[in-house]
Chain A
Amino acid sequence: MSFLEVRNLSARVKGGGPLLRDVSLTVEVGEVRGLVGESGAGKSMIGKAVLGILPKAVEITGGQIVLDGTDLLTLPPAARRVKVGASCALIPQDPLTALNPSRRIGVQITDRLVDILGWTRQRAEDRALALLTEVQITDPARVLRQYPHELSGGMRQRILIASAFAAEPKLIVADEPTTALDVTVQKQILKLIAALQARHGTALLFVTHDLGVVSKVCQNLSVLYAGKVVEDSTVADFFGAPKHPYSAALLAATPKYTDPSAGLQPVPDAVIAAVRAEVEHG
């Protein structure tokens, strides 16, 4: 049985149009699934729906989110929070706003372990120290006493990754974890996430618009267009022979660093028209 199973999930802006249309996807234990799509396709919304942090203006209109055998949407809010908190974590998009600016790094990592999971302070501190070492932060003991603004964006993202793995979650949602970072730092962060994922055997739902990232980190992927999954396949199949014409066009639109003279290939209008018609009427 899959660890996470999203079944026919639909959501919309209150009083507005649909954001997610009948989305289904699964994440197995230890699997890394990429969730790709254009801006506004709803890829972040799926991650947020799973974690229960959808904006208030968004309402779920149907479907199920089954986490480890329990449909989260049928749980009362408090029970849901406990369930999600015990088995899931988030690596957020923007490391600059994802750490509380007025609290020391160490407290931010250990607080949740102590308060919510009931660890002893000592155990939590040892854990934080070990994790910061694992994400290759030099002088972790000093960093634990520092404030977020004293650290670079890359450092902060490392800390957020460490923090996400702190409670040994079964599933981590990474919401475009490298988008806000410098290109040279992106690669290191990706490697780090992949390494930690492999070592801890954590399932990962990797939200991104970068197909290059998907090819490096993920095993399977779901392609989203306007809130609907248009293709669900393994990474090997997708990059070898995409099934859906939109996927093929998206792949062709990826800039090729090896051939700069090719320029940028936009997704053709005809493909967009076809996929839009399919999503809205099919």
Chain B
Amino acid sequence: MAEGRFQVRRRAGVRLWLSAAWLILLVIVALFAPYIAPKDPLEQDLFSGRLPPFWVHGADASFVLGTDSLGRDVLSRIIFGTRIALGVAVVSASVTCIIGAALGLLAGFYRGWVDVLVSRFIDIWMAFPPVLFSILLIAVIGPGLFSIILAIVVIDWTRFARVIRAEAMAQGAMDYVASARVAGRGRFGILLREILPNVLPIIVVLLTLEMGIAVIVEAILSFVNLSISTDDPTWGGMISEGRTSIHQAWWVLVFPLITLFLTVLSFSQLGEGLKDRFDPVLR
């Protein structure tokens, strides 16, 4: 028993620290991109196009991860792409979380007409095909960072609302809520002081998962050229460009792809790790 618990903790610990380390690295990279990036990410040099990464024969060592077909430095573009990826992830996931969690908590705890209203709204909302919906949205309001964030929020708030509603409902039926009511706490006080702390671990997990999803959505939208201008470095845009020259210059596609993969994985693992940390029963 004690040993099993110890093992669970250790595994969670390794996951948590590895993913946190990667994400912290990304944050630092994003903040200090101009100082870290070896080259200007926008500078084109057609004479040094499609240079391979440093360890391959024929490489120019100053372009560490090679260059794309326009001669732009892949590493510098990944570094500057981090800013957009993380920015979109943090802002859109936070806004999604606040809206979805608030509606879910209200519906799950207050029940009654609030619940009916929110639940039916979610049902109707989920009947829209999300990808078409986001493309349509961006087609209407025009591409750009704000559109991407809005698209993610508009599509994904239901994910939060549904899960948190169910959890708030389950917690609301517990005896400790009845005790708090007898003691004289108001409904809103109970929601904040009794229910919210118990729903928090789930909110944290969903939030970090959502950040991973936001990174993917941003990449997808860049891939189909619905993100910001193609000149600006985004991971999705780089993958999209790299796709056309995969046989001549694989590095243009592969390095942003690996970065994207590690980032999304880290977000989901961070969520799981944090959940174990937050959960008083597992702690």
Contacts and interface: CB of A to CB of B under 8 A. Distances in A.
Interface of A: 48, 51-53, 56, 78, 81-82, 84-86, 88-90, 92-94, 97-103, 108, 111-112, 115-116, 147, 149, 160, 163, 167
12 contacts: A51-B178, A52-B182, A78-B186, A81-B185, A84-B184, A85-B183, A89-B182, A90-B182, A100-B176, A112-B185, A149-B280, A149-B281
Interface stretch (B149-157, B191-199, B209-217): B191-199
A132 B254 CA distance: 63
Nearest to A89: B182
A102 B280 contact: yes
A89 B183 contact: yes
Contacts of A85: 182-185
A102 B185 contact: no
B186 A92 contact: no
A86 B182 CA distance: 9
A99 B176 contact: yes
Contacts of A149: 280-281
A115 B194 CA distance: 13
Contact of B175 (A52, A92, A115, A147): A92
B208 to A, nearest CB: 19
Contacts of A116: 183-185
B35 to A, nearest CB: 42
Given A85-B184, A112-B185, A94 B198 contact: no
Given A53-B178, A102-B197, A102-B200, A112 B183 contact: yes
Given A97-B176, A100-B198, A102-B198, A56 B112 contact: yes
B184 A112 contact: yes
Nearest to A100: B176
Contacts, number: 74
A101 B184 contact: no
B280 A101 contact: yes
Contacts of B193: 111
Nearest to B195: A100
A97 B182 contact: no
Given A53-B178, A92-B178, A100 B184 contact: no
Interface of B: 111-112, 174-176, 178-186, 189, 193-194, 197-198, 200, 280-281, 283
Given A56-B112, A100-B194, A167-B183, 17 more contacts: A48-B178, A51-B181, A51-B182, A52-B181, A81-B186, A85-B184, A92-B179, A98-B176, A100-B176, A101-B198, A101-B281, A102-B198, A102-B200, A108-B176, A112-B184, A147-B280, A149-B280
Contacts of B183: 85, 89, 112, 116, 167
A57 to B, nearest CB: 10
A117 to B, nearest CB: 8
Contacts of B180: 112
A56 B184 contact: no
A90 B184 contact: no
A88 B182 contact: yes
Nearest to B189: A115
Nearest to B178: A53
Contacts of B175: 92-94, 97-98
Contacts of B197: 100, 102-103
Given A78-B186, A101-B281, A147-B280, A90 B179 contact: yes
Nearest to A160: B179
B119 to A, nearest CB: 16
Nearest to B184: A85
A89 B184 CA distance: 10
